[in-house]
Amino acid sequence: MKNKILIKLYAPEFGKVFDIYIPANYLVWKITKLVMKCVSDLCDISINLKNEFILINKVTNEVYSNNSIIRETDIRNGTELIILSQKKE
């Protein structure tokens, strides 16, 4: 599975941790939407997918730009990521 990356995803807003595969060729903003849809389905809760979400590396605290392609970041198999809702100001 060269085009998939296994990550550990922390969703602190829901108190959950998931091991999921994400596509390596997608933009970060698409991955955040896919991941939140997955969290919504697995937790059986309603999440407004129109909200903005941010992806953060748990080890380095790097916040990933929404326009970055996953394979061009430091996200690799086993990377621990945190996903949070981003408050609009």
Question: Is 88 inside a domain boundary?
Answer: no
When the pLDDT of each residue in the chain is averaged and rounded to a whole number, the result is 91
Let me know: does 68 contact 27? Beta carbons within 8 Å: yes
Under a CB-based contact definition with an 8 Å cutoff, are residues 19 and 8 in contact? Answer: yes
Domain-embedded: residue 15: yes
Q: Please indicate, yes or no, if residue 17 is contained in any of the structural domains.
A: yes
Q: What is the CATH number of the domain that holds 36?
A: 3.10.20
- The number of domains in the chain is 1
**CB proximity list for 46: less than 8 A, separation 6 or greater:** 40
**What confidence tens digit (pLDDT) does each residue in 8-41 have?**
999 998 899 999 999 999 999 999 999 999 888 8
Q: What is the extent of the structural domain holding 18?
A: 4-78
Average pLDDT estimate for 59-77:
95
- Percentage above 90 pLDDT, the chain: 69
More confident of the two residues 50 and 70 = 70
| pTM for this predicted structure | 0.88
86 in a domain, yes or no?
Answer: no
Residue 9 corresponds to which tokens in the numbers above?
A: 């995803």
pLDDT at residue 67 is higher than 90: yes
